[in-house]
Structure 1
Amino acid sequence: MKTVYLVFRREFAGYFATPIAAVFLIVFLGMATGLTFFVASFFDRAQADMSAFFLWHPWLYLVLMPAIGMRLWAEERRSGTIELLMTLPVQPWQLVLGKWLAAWVFAGLALLLTMPLWATVNYLGSPDNGVIVASYLGSWLMAGAFLAISAAVSALTKNQVLAFIGAVVVGFLFVMAGFDLVLSAVKPWAPQIIVQAISSMSFIGHFQRITDGVLEVPALIFFISLIAFALWLNVRILEVKKAA
């Protein structure tokens, strides 16, 4: 795990070596706050909870997480440093895990900076803090899933723009999977088990159950399994490219 930590430290420090970290944090906090207070009409709802805040997280992450993840491998390939990394006495999975953990912790930092909103809600009323904690956990897991997908897509190309677009497209499919618009297009020709499988892949469906206060095992397993699969796929992509 020492190698994973070294990769993590190098990657995490890289966010703060440029204005990337500050720009992302400002954009995330600005968008999250604006959507909560102005679009979702936080004060007009007259409810001391954070449902209006978490409502927008799948859509925020759909764009912002690929913005973090697009550079994980595309930049290494563009600059040629990936060849150097592949010659080091480290396993591909250690590189993948270290890079993903750095991005995930950075996303967690962005979430931590929204804590003043939690304090505001407690000042205005008596919210169910257990639900809020569960929602934060679910949000962070969902961010991890978006980042794992983005990292796998990033390993396919040296172009960060293509990596970003590809990750957004794949993420969009997972976000929309549970919507009637998608399911109605599948139901006429697909068996019921396929329809149910597609519906069960919905990020919004699993996340909404968590934000409703139901921290159920299937939702946790879904996000954790998706993260594990995307990271495994990332490793396989690197191994194939290394062998080529």
Structure 2
Amino acid sequence: MTKIWVITKRELYSYFDSLIAYVIIILFLGLTGFFTWLASNNVFFYGQATMQPFFQVCFLTLLLLVPAITMRTLAEENRAGTIELLSTKAVSDWQIVMGKFLSSLIIVLIGLACTIPYYITISSLGNIDHGAVWGGYIGLTLLAAAFISLGIFSSSITNNQIVALLLAIAFGLVFLLLFSIIGSGLTGTAGEILTYFSAQNHFNSMSRGVIDSRDILYFVSIILLGLIFSQSMLSKRNWHN
């Protein structure tokens, strides 16, 4: 665990030292703030105290910004050859992947924490469903973690950060929208299965305050699969080298 935390701190220092973290957080707050408060379908459009406008735009914002965080996690290490240096310091591939994962997640959590004033402000406007709000934040955290794991996997299979960025967005679109679109057009078992694989449906359920074990299992499964595949790709690269 100590080695994982050392890698996490190293990554966080790199993100904030290069201003990447600041830019991502500012973009996140700017986009979510605009669509929550100023866009035509903003919080005032609903006529009640609700965080739904924020949640609905937030998961799309994460789809675009999380890959911008993860695109360099392993792709840059592979390009520069520093991943081999890490491997020679008695650090396992799993520890490397987990350190990268936690550092990316911490940046996202900082961004989400900065939106708490939205919650406080909207709460002052009327009777807000606090359970739905916290369910939504839990859902956003799990969704972001899933995007991060997919992003790290994308970064593990290429040396090019732009390719890693595009792959991560593509994976996110498949899980977030494509399964839902195709599933809604089908009936019977096939439609139910594809709909289940839609991240949007699971997130929407949590943002309404419904914390179902099936939703949590869905996100945890994606997170673990993404991390395991990332470790596998990293081990394969190290073995070839």
Query: Is the 8 Å Cα contact of residues 107 and 143 (structure 1) preserved in structure 2?
Result: yes
What's 1:74 paired with?
75
TM-score, scaled relative to structure 1: 0.93
Deviation of residue 179 (structure 1)? 2.8
Does 1:128 pair with 2:129? yes
Q: Distance in 2 between matches of 1:20 and 1:150?
A: 16
Q: Distance in 1 between matches of 2:158 and 2:204?
A: 33
More displaced, 34-43 or 88-97? 34-43
What's 2:193 paired with?
197
Amino acid at match of 2:120: A
What's 1:27 paired with?
27
Unpaired runs of at least 5, structure 1: none
Identity of aligned residues (%): 32
Q: CA RMSD in A?
A: 1.5
Does 1:51 pair with 2:52? yes
Q: Distance in 1 between matches of 2:104 and 2:90?
A: 23
Q: Distance in 2 between matches of 1:240 and 1:27?
A: 35
What's 1:141 paired with?
142
What's 1:112 paired with?
113
TM-score, scaled relative to structure 2: 0.95
What's 1:11 paired with?
11
Deviation of residue 234 (structure 1)? 0.4
The alignment covers a number of residue pairs equal to: 239
Q: 2:210 aligns with which of 211, 214, 235?
A: 214
Query: Is the 8 Å Cα contact of residues 180 and 194 (structure 2) preserved in structure 1?
Result: no
Q: 2:236 aligns with which of 219, 228, 240?
A: 240
Query: Is the 8 Å Cα contact of residues 35 and 54 (structure 2) preserved in structure 1?
Result: yes
Does 1:225 pair with 2:221? yes
Q: Deviations for 1:152-206, whole angstroms, at most 9, x for unmatched residues?
A: 01011111000000111111000114434x2367x49xxx544432211111100
Q: Distance in 2 between matches of 1:130 and 1:211?
A: 9
Three-state SS of the structure 1 residue aligned to 2:25 is helix
Provide runs of 4+ in structure 1 moved above 4 Å: none
Does 1:166 pair with 2:162? no
What's 2:36 paired with?
36
Amino acid at match of 1:221: L
More displaced, 32-41 or 213-222? 32-41
Three-state SS of the structure 2 residue aligned to 1:215 is coil
Deviation of residue 41 (structure 1)? 2.2
Deviation of residue 2 (structure 1)? 0.8
